[in-house]
Structure 1
Amino acid sequence: MTDTTDTGEAARAAEDAAKGESKISVSRGMADWLISNRASLAFTSYQTGQLFLVGVTPQNKVSFNQQHFSRAMGVCYRPGRLYVGSLFQVWRLENMLMPGQLANKQFDMALIPRNAQTVGDVDVHEVGVTADGHVLFVNTKYSCLSQFDLTHSFRPMWKPPFISKLVAEDRCHLNGLAMEAGRPRYVTAVSRSDTVNGWRERRHEGGVLIDVETNEIVTEQLSMPHSPRVHDGQVYVLDSGRGQLVRIDPESGGRTDIAFCPGFLRGLAIHNGHAIVTISKPRDGSFQGLELDGELEKRDSEPWCGVLVVNLANGSIAEWIRIDGHIAELFDVAAMPGVRCPMSVGPDTIEIRNTHSFDAQALDAPEKSI
């Protein structure tokens, strides 16, 4: 049984609208793309601590559901479940609806926070789930991949071979994680630096893609790479310092540019022959010295903030979501196949106190001793 309310969300939306803090616009074909590809999207803004869920209403209009998760970062979707990395926790949200149910007469998925694993402020970036259900996250502050631990903040599972010890120094800015067949396969880092914040002087070149299984560096010819993903035997990476979505041959390390995107790239999902990426505006002149800055100038273009849907066959931008105003930086994005119109409930809302569900048949099940 389920019960949901949305009065608090509506009030916050009205307050934001009154302030004029942000304006969201979409390409004319965005709703049709979501419908024809039978998917919805989740993306995050760490700048404002927002989780966005994007779907299509019964009236075929694009729906945006927005909730606050402090410093929202990596997102990882599994059927009926969404993981969200935040400032010092990794959240697990569960769909409380039964098949055929709708929340608020519109949403076919209602994601409710059911667990928050406290890991501390270790600068959680991307999140993945292994074949046996263990949650992995990129522990950027300690330059390693980590799992949850029942006693400690985290359990380190792997570190790059050039990192000499685990200390809270963000030495190489390890940031992206590609899973393959339920296991960690590739990671990205801004550099091979092994000193505190050493990566900051290596933003324009020397970015690496590392094979986790072999510890080999597949390529070190990237600029501020993010978000590796494995698809059809190839590795896709955001070459963010150049503004390019690229394909990497895992054998040779050869790089092929697919599409230039007008902003700083973070976050990549691949669905039905398309790459979904997030782009951000610069922060405090952060584009200076990067090839991205020159490319924007050469193309007589300004950077913007939003989500792009890229056709992998020809590199064209098929559809887009644009955000103007207060929100200028996004992080991760995930496709949610088979979901038409999702919503979530935030951990700091009135709704979470008054949104309840339980298995109505539990009392009819064979009982065990209590």
Structure 2
Amino acid sequence: MIPPVLPTYNRAPLHFTHGEGSWLIEEDGRRFLDLGAGIAVNALGHAHPDLVAALTEQGSKLWHLSNLYEIPQQEELARRLVDATFADTAFFTNSGTEAMELAVKMARKYWYEKGQPDKVEIIAFDGAFHGRSSAAIAAVPTEKMAKGFGPLLPGFKQAKWGDWDALAEMVSDTTAAIIIEPVQGEGGIRPLPDADLKALRKLCDDKGCLLILDEVQCGVGRTGHLFAHEYAGITPDIMMVAKGIGGGFPLGAVLATEEAASGMVAGSHGSTYGGNPLGCAVGNAVLKKIADPAFLEEVRRKAGLFRQKLEGLVADNPEVFEEVRGLGLMLGLKCKIPCADVVKAGYAQELLTVPAADDVVRLLPPLTIADEEIAEAMDRLDRAAKAALSETKAG
């Protein structure tokens, strides 16, 4: 018999009742150190007082209006994002998947309005993850994501990550945009080198197509800058944002230059819930904290400490780990044994991590994690690694 909740998730048998900063408390009282942060969502940890205050204050006034009317909280958040980034304008969604849908529509509409209606093709990369909508799975049609959901939407091509010569040959007169994650998350924590991102920006300029960056997972301070592409010193035409921007409240956005967004006029896109007063009040509270240069400097410091300790962990567990990957507090441990075994062993150590492709354990802690919590994480990771290895050998 099918359960009341559609069984599309393989859930761990854990029942958390509340959270405090970097910790989640199980109903039996156990305290789990959370290195997943809801898959890079709870950027300021659990129950951050500033977010609780913003949510409570706004919740007592007004939750929802629809976009039939002016929404001051939405305008404030848009201004914060425009002032802090390359963008001239923002559209608010409820998720990264919705942001993907708009990014594709925006790129195609741009060329349509420029008198090039055949310029519709979007090039994505193997190992990428842009959501689970029809457009997103057409962009990266892995068997896991796309099997059984055909026919897939046309207008997408897939390039090999890192093969830039082949990519250049793929770009044609019908290419509207190239979309890429500056750091692949689901794909196994693969950062794109700065030189490659610069070359990609130049390729788009030379070939006459738009550059879309998916910073849903790697954005909003996760890498130590507000957005990961800042390391390379380039700017995209369109960027997808979600996860950390709401600090746990469902919120996403598409940021764009005035030129790239020029085709999106009244009636060309919309959202019932996107940019509602409640979500934007929380988003403003998040950005007030994370966009502060001093906060980001502290993220970079903690990221250096975390990585240094992880390198020691890898050296101490050579049969389990191969290398450390990542940027900022978006880190991964490449495993020599199934990464799921390490994640599962972590539960017994009251530690939460996230699996990814290529047998990588993702470490995506709250950006507010304390030094002593990083040290505690290493102890728990070490015990989990040794337990997982012992189980592997016994099996």
| TM-score for the superposition, normalised by structure 2 | 0.24
TM value normalised by structure 1: 0.25
From the two aligned structures, give the one with the greater strand fraction: 1
User: Using CA pairs below 8 Å that are at least 6 residues apart, which structure has the higher relative contact order?
Assistant: 2
